[in-house]
Structures are given as structure tokens and as C-alpha cells.
């Protein structure tokens, strides 16, 4: 029994080791790798396709790690800054046709209180909650995103992976250390900390850019800010905050300063660009202050951390009071102090209604929080009513997911109302995933709504798509095979859905075979379909 528990505890780390082996074999085997100059092509060191596959391999593991945070509200806000920057990079020609179609161009959140952000191969950019929490304006946060985006568009990642073999071997060695730690302590958390720390060290050893690359990312990123509609002064403001941090003993809280070291040249250039250009100042906004508070709450959900968020502030400013109430309400809800959470978000809504001019995005964010608070308190009908008060009505991701969750919860108290709400959510979610096929959370909620409405086959397929979006190909294939079996019974008669399931099973099985071939270093042709047999598992 003890051996069985040990094998079970080590299973995730063996899968992570296999993934890292896949990453290692994805890198081109060259006798000698050199670091090209800034003006030189990076394709000879790391092709665009290989870079994307490398990024996908890392993200497959990252998405299943507890520190990977899919908070719909905060992620939507970060994407509202990220998407204009990507569009600006396309507009000015920083993103060419090849990378535009090949790279993901995806920003994601990491639940970590340290101040850090990083770019990964293939167009993925990670943002620690600690960095969001210290920014004072949306322009400051956008400046960091623009800098990281520029590392991607200028192919700095490909150019900096010169010591590829050594870095990849470091990942594998650290994973082995994590397995040993798990076997000795029987504590998966210890193994997770060891593995994630080592993976971070390996990735950062690849992504420690040269000073010239840092300055180029500053220059290119600065140029994107104005085109995207942000104040370029945000970059100098962010550097000023980082400069202050370098004078403090941060006890490891500012890893961004070690992977993106500030120099006198970088700081002075940012300040000079702002002084010489006629740019608007970077000013705080109420919505950013609220999202800053949300990041502070979510980066430390310990009881002690949440209890510090009382919702009170010494500032008489209306915006500061609303932001404090926002953070206090969310913190109280996570502490299950539902009465205080409801009072504080209601008060914040009252204050927001007095703002001149009115800010629809702020009121929408508060209504969304109110729905989240009421749903956590067990008031599903109240949550739906709060979402209905959003003006103008929207079908954005946070609203869609909350509405579906509330409809599912409503079944226990009002079956008739839940039936209509579930049907509406079902339809909206299907439209959403048709355009956002990699949204695992949306697929999971869609599976639940299908299940609640009695569409078992569709629920199973949606569940499989959720596993696929998370990078769990085996889980997706298992669910699709189970759905395929159900489709052959009287209870699963749905010809169109069965055809979709057969097609998706073939596609995902083929992708898994390709991954296995890459792990083995086999670039030969496929050897037939394995949809009707067990097949090899990575």
C-alpha cells in the first residue's frame, strides 16, 4: 500500500519528466551553437516552428500547475492591455506573417506575490500577480507587457537559447531532484516547489537577455505604447518604481530586477524619451486600482493575508474608497464572511454611482464582483439578478462563466428558472468556444450545463475539449473514446455529435503520436491511426 501511494505521488513528476524530455528532443541538435548579433536572423538557431513547439511543451505543464491562474476578471483586464499592444506590433510591422500565424500571442497569470514577468518561446508572456499589485497606472503595466512582447517580436528568445543543451539538461536534473524529494518526504508540495523552482531557473538561464536586447526591447516597446493608445510615460514611471526597489532589500521579492537588470542607461533613456516627447502623463484609473486590489487579494489567499483586507482606507478620495471596498469585499467572500462581503460591494456600487463622469467599466466590474460574492454565499438567483443589471448587457467571458455557474447552482432552489437560464447559458457558451477553442474553463462549464440538461454525449465531448485545451491529450482521448462508446448505444444517438467526436479523436490521437515521435527523436511518417486501439502513451 505504501509503495502504491509513493507511485501515485510520483506519477505527476514522471509525466513532467517526460514532457521535459520532449522539450529536449524538440531543440535542434547542432554541434555548435552561437549567439547571433541583433541584426542577424535567429532562424538558424531556433526556427519559428520549433520555438512554438517548445513554448507549447512548457505551457502544457504550466496550465496544470496550481500557480497557473485563470481568474476571468483579472485576465480580461490584462488582455485589455495586451491585445492593443499585439495589434500595434502588427500595425508597425514588428509581427511578420510567419510569426503572426505560428505564435500564440497569449498573456497569462501566475499566482505569485513576487514582482516578475517573463516571455516564453512561441509568443507566451507570463505576468506575476505581485507585479500587477505594485503598478499604479495601466500605462505602467502596459509598459511591462510591451517590453516582454518586444522580446518575442525581435526573436530575442531564439537568439538567447545558445546554451540549449545545458539548460534542458538542467530542467531534467531538477525534475529528478523533485522526484527524490517526493520519495523521501512523501510531500508532493516539496516536490512541486523543487521542480517549479528548477524549471524557472532553467528557463531563466535561457532568457537572461543581453544588455543590448534589453535596451532594444525598451525602445521597441516604448514605440508600441503610443500606437496602442497608452501613455509612453508609463515606461519611465515603471522604471522609477523599479529603481526604488533596487535600493531596498527586497528579500527575493523582485526577481524581475535580476532577470531584467536596470542600468543607468536604460533608466536615463526612458526618462529622456518621456521628456523630449510630447506625451500625456500616465495617470491612475479607478478600474486599474480595483484590478490592482484584486491581484493583491488573489496573490495571498491565506487567512492572515485576507484578514488584512478590511475594506477601509484613510484616503478620502472616492476612487481609493471604492478600490478598498472592492478588495475588502473579495477578501471577505474568500473568508466566507458573506454578510460583510455583500455590504462592502453594495456600498462600492453606491459610491460608483456618484462618480462624475460615470464609469461603465467600473460599475460592470463591481456588478460582476457582486454576482461572484452572492454566488459564493449560495444566492444564485441574486447573482443572476446582479448580472442582469449590467448596462449595457454583455457576453464577455467573466459574465458568461458566472451566469452559467449561477444557473447550475439555481437548480436546487428553482428548477423552472434554472432550466431557462441553463438553456440560455448553453447557447452563449457554444458561441464562445466556437471562437475561443482553447478556453478550458469555458469548455468545463459547457460540459456541466450540457450534463444538467441531459445531453450526455455533448457533455462528454466538451469535457474532452477541456482536457485538450489544458494540454492533457491522454485525458482528452480517454473521454472521447468513452463518448464514442456511448454514441453506439441507444442512449447516445446523436449522429452529428458522434461524427464530431470521431473526427476530434482522430485529430488528437495524431497529435499525440507526433509528440511521441518527437520524444523518441523519430521524424518519420505516421504509422496509422490508433483511435480503435490503445496506442502508446507518452
Q: Got the DSSP string for 493-525?
A: --HHHHHHHHHHHHHHHHHHHHHHHHHHT--S-
Q: Do residues 29 and 207 make contact, with C-beta atoms less than 8 angstroms apart?
A: no
The neighbouring-strand residues paired with 120 are 124
> Residue 170 — left, alpha, or beta (φ > 0 → left; ψ -120 to 50 → alpha)?
alpha
Residues making up the chain, counted from first to last? 538
Give catalytic status of residue 218 as yes or no: yes
Q: What is the SS3 assignment for 119?
A: strand
- Distance of alpha carbon 144 from alpha carbon 127, whole angstroms: 9
Q: Which residue in 148, 337, 363, 444 is the catalytic one? A: 148
C-alpha cell at position 42: 535567429
E strands, 451-509, where? Answer: none
Q: What is the SS3 assignment for 68?
A: strand
Rg (CA), the chain: 24
Give catalytic status of residue 494 as yes or no: no
Q: How many other C-beta atoms can be found within 10 angstroms of the C-beta atom of residue 193?
A: 13
C-alpha cell at position 93: 510591422
Rounding to the nearest 10 degrees, give the CA dihedral for residues 94, 95, 96, 101: 180
Sign of CA dihedral 427, 465, 509, 533: negative
Q: Number of helices and strands (H, E) in the chain?
A: 25, 4
Q: What is the SS3 assignment for 134?
A: helix
Q: Which residue in 45, 214, 218, 363 is the catalytic one? A: 218
HSE-CB for 67 with a 13 A CA cutoff = 20
Cα separations in angstroms, 235 against 137, 292, 364: 10, 18, 28
- Distance of alpha carbon 91 from alpha carbon 98, whole angstroms: 15
Q: Got the DSSP string for 224-242?
A: HHHHTT--THHHHHHHHHH
Q: In terms of C-beta density within 10 A (0-12 exposed, 13-18 middle, 19 or more buried), how is residue 79 classed?
A: middle
Q: What is the SS3 assignment for 107?
A: strand
C-alpha cell at position 296: 493583491
- Distance of alpha carbon 37 from alpha carbon 42, whole angstroms: 9
Q: Do residues 157 and 151 make contact, with C-beta atoms less than 8 angstroms apart?
A: yes
Non-local CB neighbours of 223 within 8 Å, separated by 6+ positions: 92
C-alpha cell at position 476: 482528452
C-alpha cell at position 375: 454566488
Residue positions annotated with a catalytic role: 148, 218
Amino acid at each position: 500500500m505504501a509503495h502504491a501511494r509513493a507511485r501515485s505521488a510520483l506519477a505527476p513528476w514522471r509525466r513532467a519528466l517526460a514532457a521535459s524530455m520532449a522539450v529536449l528532443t524538440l531543440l535542434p541538435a547542432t554541434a555548435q551553437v552561437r549567439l547571433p548579433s541583433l541584426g542577424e536572423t535567429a532562424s538558424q538557431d531556433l526556427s519559428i516552428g520549433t520555438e512554438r513547439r517548445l513554448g507549447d511543451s512548457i505551457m502544457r505543464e504550466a496550465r496544470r500547475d496550481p500557480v497557473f491562474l485563470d481568474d476571468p476578471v483579472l485576465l480580461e483586464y490584462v488582455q485589455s492591455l495586451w491585445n492593443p499592444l499585439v495589434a500595434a506590433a502588427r500595425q508597425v510591422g514588428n509581427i511578420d506573417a510567419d510569426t503572426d500565424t505560428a505564435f500564440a500571442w497569449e498573456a497569462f497569470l501566475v499566482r505569485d506575490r513576487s514582482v516578475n514577468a517573463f516571455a516564453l518561446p512561441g509568443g507566451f508572456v507570463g505576468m506575476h500577480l505581485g507585479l500587477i499589485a505594485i503598478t499604479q497606472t495601466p500605462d505602467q503595466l502596459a509598459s511591462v507587457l510591451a517590453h516582454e512582447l518586444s522580446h518575442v517580436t525581435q526573436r530575442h528568445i531564439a537568439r538567447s537559447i545558445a546554451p540549449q543543451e545545458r539548460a534542458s539538461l538542467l530542467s531534467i536534473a531538477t525534475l529528478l531532484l523533485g522526484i527524490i524529494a517526493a520519495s523521501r518526504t512523501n510531500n508532493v508540495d516539496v516536490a512541486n516547489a523543487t521542480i517549479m523552482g528548477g524549471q524557472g531557473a532553467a528557463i531563466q538561464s535561457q532568457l537572461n537577455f543581453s544588455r543590448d536586447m534589453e535596451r532594444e526591447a525598451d525602445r521597441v516597446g516604448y514605440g508600441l505604447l503610443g500606437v496602442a493608445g497608452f501613455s509612453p510615460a508609463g515606461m519611465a514611471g515603471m522604471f522609477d518604481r523599479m529603481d526604488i526597489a533596487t535600493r531596498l532589500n527586497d528579500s527575493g521579492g523582485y526577481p524581475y530586477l535580476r532577470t531584467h537588470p536596470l542600468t543607468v542607461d536604460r533608466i536615463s533613456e526612458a526618462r529622456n524619451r518621456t521628456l523630449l516627447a510630447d506625451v500625456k502623463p500616465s495617470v491612475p484609473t479607478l478600474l486599474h486600482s480595483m484590478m490592482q486590489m484584486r491581484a493583491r487579494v488573489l496573490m495571498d489567499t491565506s487567512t492572515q493575508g485576507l484578514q488584512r483586507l478590511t475594506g477601509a482606507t484613510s484616503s478620502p478620495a472616492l476612487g481609493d474608497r471604492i478600490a478598498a471596498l472592492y478588495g475588502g469585499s473579495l477578501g471577505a467572500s474568500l473568508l466566507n464572511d458573506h454578510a460583510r462581503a455583500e455590504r462592502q460591494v453594495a456600498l462600492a456600487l453606491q459610491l460608483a454611482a456618484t462618480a462624475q463622469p460615470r464609469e461603465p467599466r467600473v460599475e460592470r466590474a463591481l456588478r460582476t464582483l457582486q454576482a461572484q460574492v452572492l454566488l459564493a454565499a449560495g444566492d444564485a438567483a441574486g447573482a443572476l439578478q446582479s448580472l442582469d443589471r449590467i448596462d449595457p448587457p454583455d457576453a464577455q467571458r467573466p459574465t458568461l462563466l458566472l451566469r452559467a455557474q449561477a444557473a447550475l447552482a439555481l437548480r436546487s432552489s428553482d428548477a423552472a428558472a434554472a432550466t431557462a437560464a441553463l438553456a440560455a447559458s448553453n447557447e452563449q457558451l457554444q458561441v464562445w468556444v466556437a471562437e475561443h477553442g482553447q478556453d478550458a474553463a469555458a469548455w468545463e462549464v459547457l460540459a456541466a450545463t450540457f450534463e444538467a440538461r441531459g445531453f450526455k454525449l455533448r457533455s462528454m465531448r466538451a469535457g474532452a475539449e477541456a482536457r485538450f485545451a489544458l494540454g492533457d491529450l491522454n485525458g482528452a482521448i480517454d473521454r472521447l473514446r468513452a463518448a464514442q462508446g456511448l454514441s453506439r448505444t441507444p442512449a447516445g444517438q446523436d449522429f452529428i455529435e458522434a461524427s464530431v467526436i470521431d473526427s476530434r479523436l482522430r485529430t488528437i490521437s495524431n497529435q499525440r503520436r507526433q509528440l511521441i515521435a518527437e520524444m523518441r527523436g523519430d521524424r518519420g511518417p505516421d504509422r496509422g491511426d490508433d483511435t480503435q486501439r490503445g496506442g502508446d502513451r507518452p
